Amino acid sequence: MYQKAFPGKKALNSYPIRIPSYHAAPAELHFIPQWLDALPFYHLSFLNIQGLRICLKDLFCLLKFPNLGVVLMRHTYEAKDDSLCDKDMRNWGREVQRMEAFKNLKVVAFHHFIPSLVSTLKCFAKFPALSICSVEPYRQLSSMGHAADDIWRASLPFSLAPKAIADQTADIWSGPPTSSLAKMKLLYDLAEKWQPEAHRPSIAKEPDPAIFSVHYGSERSFSYSAFPIWFIRDWLSSRYKPEEQAKRAGEGEGNESKKRKIRTGKQSNIGSFLETFN
């Protein structure tokens, strides 16, 4: 139809969708994947959710997005009973791994949620294609140095973005006002450049896929955090190895008590001590 109306012109391939909603209203994401699943062609989906209440079932709903490429989420500033917690992030990461989801998700911004930085990045480590992310918990980070220390102690495959990438994300995020679609596309392209070829998922794509950008939530500006902190995945680090991630994921999650070992020297000393009572 477009070619008939404009012969010789390149077909439009970007479709922004805006869904206004009251600030702090509960998110209802179940209907969006149904729209996208019904499309007869390949599409890359960008999702920007601002100021809505998001709970674990909403995060599970995101697994139904077949070609999700960028997700930007800012939770409402009002803490509710159904707010996310560290356990929810662990469950979300496990479900992503179990369903082998998010094979094309390269960028995530996760702002003003209660889960800690470490629990959030542990979850994001299960996203197979994630290259760059921004995390700003509800309880503000004390400093970037402390954040880097926490990531290192938890042996996570992320680090603070180097200056070159940090400057580029800052220019995109807080630069001249453009559409959220344009900014998300730039973030996606930046993440794809950072991701090594060997780690890029082999997904069959059409030569010129359509991009669906969904802006859902309150009518506030895209730059809801002027200079957010960005993290990059250490693709070449040994901490990224899937077998190591699976091993660490099981550590500290069970309730089994570990058996304590007693040194041989200690055993002989205790035995000698007990003999005095015979």
Tens digits of residue pLDDT in 232-260: 998 876 554 544 544 544 444 444 444 43
Rounded to whole angstroms, how far apart are CA atoms 93 and 123? 5
Rounded to whole angstroms, how far apart are CA atoms 241 and 227? 31
Q: What is the DSSP letter of 23?
A: T
Pairing state between β 230-233 and 68-75? unpaired
The pTM score is 0.76
Please identify which residue in the block is written with the tokens 């035995």: 271
Contact 39, 67 (CB under 8 A): no
Give the tens place of pLDDT for each residue, 97-112: 999 999 999 999 998 8
Q: Which residues of the chain fall below pLDDT 70?
A: 1-12, 77-82, 177, 198-208, 219-227, 237-278
3-state secondary structure of 102: coil
Rounded to whole angstroms, how far apart are CA atoms 32 and 58? 11
Contact 125, 245 (CB under 8 A): yes
Q: Residue 20's beta-bridge partner residues? A: 217
Rounded to whole angstroms, how far apart are CA atoms 25 and 172? 28
CA-based nearest residue to 92, from 51, 129, 128, 126: 126
User: How high is the pLDDT of residue 200?
Assistant: 65
3-state secondary structure of 74: strand
Rg (CA), the chain: 23
User: How high is the pLDDT of residue 26?
Assistant: 82
Rounded to whole angstroms, how far apart are CA atoms 35 and 64? 11
**Alpha-helical runs (H) found in the chain:** 2-5, 31-37, 56-61, 86-99, 117-124, 144-153, 163-174, 180-194, 242-250, 264-275
User: How high is the pLDDT of residue 239?
Assistant: 52
Backbone angles phi, psi at 206, to 5 degrees: -75, 155
CA-based nearest residue to 15, from 212, 158, 225, 234: 212
Pairing state between β 132-136 and 210-217? unpaired
User: How high is the pLDDT of residue 188?
Assistant: 92
User: How high is the pLDDT of residue 86?
Assistant: 93
Contact 213, 17 (CB under 8 A): yes
